[in-house]
């Protein structure tokens, strides 16, 4: 009799535990469902660049992808399967891809309804324009580790096709000094190629413009001229410091602030002309530029003034200034918040509310607005930038004037589509296109 009672108690306990567990799963699924609906309402549900695609038939609900994601809440567990929540906020770390124990995640670009413009690139990284190669973010691969590997592999393929009797100044001109460009520059040096790297901005490319502490890499990578880098949760500053060290150690020639305006042909060789009017001839060209291309300008009077910038450097050195930040994306919000600690900051955004912000940024900017930490101008546009003032148009005031010392513009970037097409590179719109998969 006692054994029956004991078995009954154990059975009851098991039932209670199972009920609690099932109830917990149900609550978690409902919470994720609510987040998905909120993401759709806020316009952050659909992916805008590289994103994880989950094979629900293979997913075993390990939760490894959720834990691995450094951005948090890109992926959640709903009804026993991993699912996307804030896909547009994914910045392509790829940590989820590597963390999934059953390889149920692939990385894609473009959706079934919204395509993404991508250049035609062969498995050897050569475009349809013979002699012009592409590696890294421009080809759709935004992951730093993979961009580095692509830069290395592209140069290996280029080395095998160099015309030994060419009459150009360089064997190879590399355009862009981001992850792919730096890797390519190091590999070119290692293989004895006469090469030069042109960067429209500063060493690091897109990474250089990230906020200082932003995580930019989550898995180890192999960098030519250095070896395996075993950083995890790497910050921008750590990565840039390493690149500076490796570039200096290998005596790599990188010419900064030298945007390539056109790529043409002269006497059978490529001729690259920069916006400063300087020309470089090369037997081969590797494009390692970002997909954003050049910062988008407002095209308003006074935008040429020296106080106008399109990226924020060393915010801790800027104090006691009247600053206007233009934009409503994460970069604008993060910059405005950093500057607001020691300056009088006005944030101008053309829409009536923020869209597609990371949850923490959204929370911080709302608190800053409530507390008066900065002045927020929704539904506003810059009309003119003057030496000591900025003229804006708002919903209530068509000619609002504010005192101003510095202007930071974060209006996104212009895709280098036209630049590529002028160089003869074909571009196609890709839908639901797989960039990385575990399937061979």
Same-domain status, 197 and 266: yes
Residue 218: per-residue pLDDT: 57
Over residues 407-418, the pLDDT tens digits come to 999 887 767 888
Residue 429 located in a structural domain: no
Same-domain status, 276 and 352: no
Count of domains for the chain: 3
Over residues 103-141, the pLDDT tens digits come to 888 888 777 777 777 888 888 889 999 999 998 876 655
Residue 282 located in a structural domain: yes
Over residues 392-437, the pLDDT tens digits come to 999 888 889 999 999 999 887 767 888 888 888 888 887 887 877 8
Residue 27 located in a structural domain: yes
Residue 336 contacts residue 374 (beta carbons within 8 Å)? yes
Residue 434 located in a structural domain: no
Q: How far apart are the first and last CA of the chain?
A: 61
Quick one: three-class SS letters along the chain?
CHHHHHHHHHHHHHHHHHHHHHHHHHHHHHHHHHHHHHHHHHCCCCCCCCEEEECCCCCCCCCHHHHHCCCCCCEEEECCEEEECCHHHCCCCCHHHHHCCCCCEEEEECCCCCCEEEECECCCCEECCCCEEECCHHHCCCCHHHHHHHHHHHHHHHHCCCCCCCCCCEEEEEECCCHHHHHHHHHHHHCCCCEEEECCCCCCHHHHHCCCCCEEECCCEEECCCEEECCCCEEHHHHHHHHHHHHHHCCCCEECCCCEEEEEEECCEEEEEECCCCEEEEEEEEECCCCCCEECCCCCECCCCCCEECCCCCHHHCCCCEEEEECCCHHHHHHHHHHCCCCEEEEECCCCCCCCCCHHHHHHHHHHHHHCCCEEECCCEEEEECCCEEEEECCCCCCEEEECCEEEECCCEECCHHHHHHCCCCEEEECCEEEECCCC
Structure tokens at 205: 């490319």
In this structure, of 307-321, 338-352, 386-400, the range with the lowest mean pLDDT score is: 307-321
Same-domain status, 96 and 133: no
Of the candidates 156, 188, 191, 157, the residue with the CA atom closest to the CA atom of residue 174 = 188
Residue 381: per-residue pLDDT: 94
Residue 430: per-residue pLDDT: 79
Same-domain status, 265 and 244: yes
Scanning the structure block, which residue is given the tokens 């005596």?
Answer: 251
Same-domain status, 221 and 255: yes
Residue 11 located in a structural domain: yes
Same-domain status, 184 and 273: yes
Residue 6: per-residue pLDDT: 73
Residue 116 located in a structural domain: no
Over residues 207-219, the pLDDT tens digits come to 655 555 555 555 6
Residue 439 located in a structural domain: no
Same-domain status, 287 and 318: no
pTM as predicted: 0.67
Residue 294 contacts residue 413 (beta carbons within 8 Å)? yes
73 against 192, higher pLDDT: 192
Residue 54: per-residue pLDDT: 85
Residue 97 contacts residue 218 (beta carbons within 8 Å)? no
How many Å apart are CA 76 and CA 70, to the nearest integer?
Answer: 13
CB-side exposure of 234: number of CA atoms within 13 Å?
23
At 49, which CATH number? 3.30.70.20
Q: What is the mean pLDDT of residues 231-256?
A: 76
At 341, which CATH number? 3.50.50.60
Same-domain status, 264 and 379: no
Is residue 420 packed enough to be buried (19+ CB in 10 Å), middle (13-18) or exposed (0-12)? buried
Same-domain status, 131 and 154: yes
How many Å apart are CA 411 and CA 271, to the nearest integer?
Answer: 31
In this structure, of 317-321, 351-355, 368-372, the range with the lowest mean pLDDT score is: 351-355
Residue 50: per-residue pLDDT: 76
Angstrom CA distances, 27 to 19, 20, 199, stand at 12, 10, 51
Confidence of residue 278 (pLDDT cuts 50, 70, 90): very high
Please determine, for residue 155, whether its predicted confidence score (pLDDT) is greater than 90. Answer: yes
Over residues 10-58, the pLDDT tens digits come to 777 778 777 776 777 677 777 777 787 777 776 667 776 778 888 888 8
Residue 300 located in a structural domain: no
Rounded (5°) CA angle 250-240-407 = 130
Same-domain status, 341 and 226: no
Same-domain status, 382 and 285: no
Same-domain status, 168 and 289: yes
Parent domain of 28: 2-109
Residue 236: per-residue pLDDT: 66
Which of the listed residues 109, 140, 159 is the one where a domain comes to its end?
109
Residue 214: per-residue pLDDT: 54
Of the candidates 173, 168, 178, 238, the residue with the CA atom closest to the CA atom of residue 202 = 178
How many Å apart are CA 283 and CA 312, to the nearest integer?
Answer: 36
Q: What is the mean pLDDT of residues 374-403?
A: 93
């Amino acid at each position: 009799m006692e054994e029956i009672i004991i078995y009954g108690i154990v059975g009851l306990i098991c039932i209670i535990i199972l009920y609690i567990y099932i109830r917990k799963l149900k609550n978690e699924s409902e919470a994720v469902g609510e987040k998905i609906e909120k993401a759709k309402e806020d316009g952050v549900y659909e992916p805008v660049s590289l994103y994880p695609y989950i094979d629900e038939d293979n997913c075993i609900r390990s939760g490894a992808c959720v834990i691995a994601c450094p951005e948090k809440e890109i992926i959640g567990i709903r009804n026993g399967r991993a699912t996307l929540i804030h896909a547009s906020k994914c910045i392509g770390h790829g940590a989820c891809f590597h963390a999934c124990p059953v390889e149920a995640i692939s990385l894609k670009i473009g959706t079934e309804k919204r395509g993404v413009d991508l250049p035609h690139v062969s498995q050897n990284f050569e475009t349809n324009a013979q002699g012009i190669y592409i590696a890294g973010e421009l080809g759709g691969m935004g992951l730093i580790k993979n961009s580095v590997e692509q830069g290395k592999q592209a140069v290996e393929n280029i080395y095998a096709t160099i015309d030994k009797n060419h009459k150009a100044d360089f064997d190879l001109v590399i355009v862009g000094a981001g992850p792919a460009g730096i890797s390519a520059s190091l590999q070119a040096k290692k293989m004895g190629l006469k090469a030069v790297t042109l960067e429209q901005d500063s060493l690091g490319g897109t990474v250089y413009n990230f906020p200082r502490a932003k995580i930019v890499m989550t898995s180890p990578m192999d960098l030519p001229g250095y070896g395996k880098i075993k950083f995890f949760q790497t910050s921008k500053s750590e990565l840039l410091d390493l690149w500076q060290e490796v570039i200096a150690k290998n005596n790599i020639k990188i010419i900064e602030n030298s945007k390539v305006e056109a790529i043409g042909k002269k006497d059978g060789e490529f001729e690259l002309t920069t916006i400063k009017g300087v020309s470089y001839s090369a037997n081969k060209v590797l494009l390692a530029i970002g997909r954003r291309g050049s910062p988008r300008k407002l095209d308003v009077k006074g935008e040429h003034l020296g106080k106008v910038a399109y990226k924020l450097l060393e915010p801790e050195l800027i104090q006691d200034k009247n600053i206007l930040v233009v934009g409503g994306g994460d970069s604008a919000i993060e910059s405005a918040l950093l500057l607001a600690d020691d300056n009088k900051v006005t944030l101008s955004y053309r829409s009536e509310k923020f869209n597609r912000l990371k949850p923490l940024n959204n929370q911080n900017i709302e608190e800053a607005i409530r507390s008066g930490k900065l002045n927020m101008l929704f539904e506003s546009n810059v009309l003119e930038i003057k030496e000591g003032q900025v003229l804006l148009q708002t919903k209530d005031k068509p000619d609002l004037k504010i005192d101003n010392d510095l202007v930071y513009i974060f209006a996104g970037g212009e895709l280098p589509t036209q630049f590529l097409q002028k160089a003869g590179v074909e571009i196609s719109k890709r839908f639901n296109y797989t960039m990385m998969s575990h399937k061979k």
